[in-house]
Amino acid sequence: MPLDPRQCLEVLVRQDLERNYILSYLAAAFEFGEGFEKPPKLSTLDKRGWDVIKILDNPQDYLDYPDSAEDMGEDRCLALLDRIFTDKLTDMIQRRFWSEFMPISIRIARDARKDKPGTSHKWHFDTGPQTHLKLLLYLNETDGGTMVINRHESDLLARGGYAYTTEDSRVNDIEKVTRKMGIKTPKQTLVTPKPGSGILFEPSLVAHKGVKTSKGVRNLIQVLIIPFSVPWRNNWPQGWDLIRRNDNAGFPHMRAG
């Protein structure tokens, strides 16, 4: 497990600069920020990098949906996104970004106890611009969940060189990393949202890993959200064209050097 702080910083900066995310984000935030009479209070999402929110009343209705947006089709996808972006969730996202936003992918992810652990079941940061959010919306009862480390403590791990590592150097036990860095092992929180609730977090700044359920299957809707200049609804059907093609639900992989 090589620790390479230089690479972590380079990836973070290159994601934002070379791909112009930071420019479009700043433009969107300037415009939107003028709408605030005074700066909004810090939210839980601001302070920790993650929060839990109730969203769907009837999560079981979506269990049989196909995994990919393309297979769901435009109408079902749009109807589902309309349900997901409640006024409360919209407000949380707008306050975090200081801008409007746009979903850039939606898919259903499923894992069972018997499945081989994947790379998302080990501690990692998602690659992508610093300012983006991921929603993992749980569809059924589970004793698994999403394990997270608060943003400020995650930042120490990234600064010490554990972020955007190759997938085979991800660890299951974060103590292996903190021991090597000589820092205190951070608090690790297992978040187990109730069916219909989700965890909203900053996946490129908050260390996280998926935790499988001990029985049955863990089913969750995964939505990736970026800052945008107009409300996402006003950008449909162009938004659909992007979502339909973005099936692996992420940003292009970028490693330094």
Nearest-approach distance from CB 205 to Fe ion, in angstroms: 12
Nearest-approach distance from CB 134 to Fe ion, in angstroms: 7
Nearest-approach distance from CB 213 to Fe ion, in angstroms: 17
**Binding segment (CB under 5 A) for Fe ion, from list 42-50, 118-126, 135-143, 220-228:** 118-126
Compute the distance between CA of residue 48 and CA of residue 43 in angstroms, rounded to an integer: 9
126 makes contact with Fe ion (CB under 5 A): yes
Q: 248 is written with which tokens?
A: 């692996």
Contacting residues for 136 by C-beta, under 8 A, at least 6 apart: 109, 146, 193, 198, 199, 201, 220, 221, 222
Nearest-approach distance from CB 230 to Fe ion, in angstroms: 28
Nearest-approach distance from CB 38 to Fe ion, in angstroms: 35
- 210 close to 144: Cβ distance less than 8 angstroms: yes
Task: State whether residue 147 is helix, strand or coil.
Answer: strand
**Binding segment (CB under 5 A) for Fe ion, from list 76-84, 96-104, 126-134, 148-156:** 126-134
Return the number of the residue (126 or 202) whose C-beta is nearest Fe ion: 126
Nearest-approach distance from CB 247 to Fe ion, in angstroms: 16
The footprint of Fe ion on this chain (CB under 5 A) covers a number of residues equal to 1
Total residue length of the chain: 257
The residue type of 32 is F
Q: Which residue is nearest to Fe ion (CB)?
A: 126
How far lies 6's CA from each of 11, 14, 171, 204, 255, in Å? 9, 12, 19, 16, 11
Return the number of the residue (62 or 125) whose C-beta is nearest Fe ion: 125
**Binding segment (CB under 5 A) for Fe ion, from list 37-45, 68-76, 119-127, 212-220:** 119-127
**Binding segment (CB under 5 A) for Fe ion, from list 96-104, 123-131, 182-190, 216-224:** 123-131
How many other CB atoms are there within 10 angstroms of residue 114's CB atom?
7
- 99 close to 229: Cβ distance less than 8 angstroms: yes
Return the number of the residue (31 or 67) whose C-beta is nearest Fe ion: 67
Q: Which residues bind Fe ion (CB under 5 A)?
A: 126
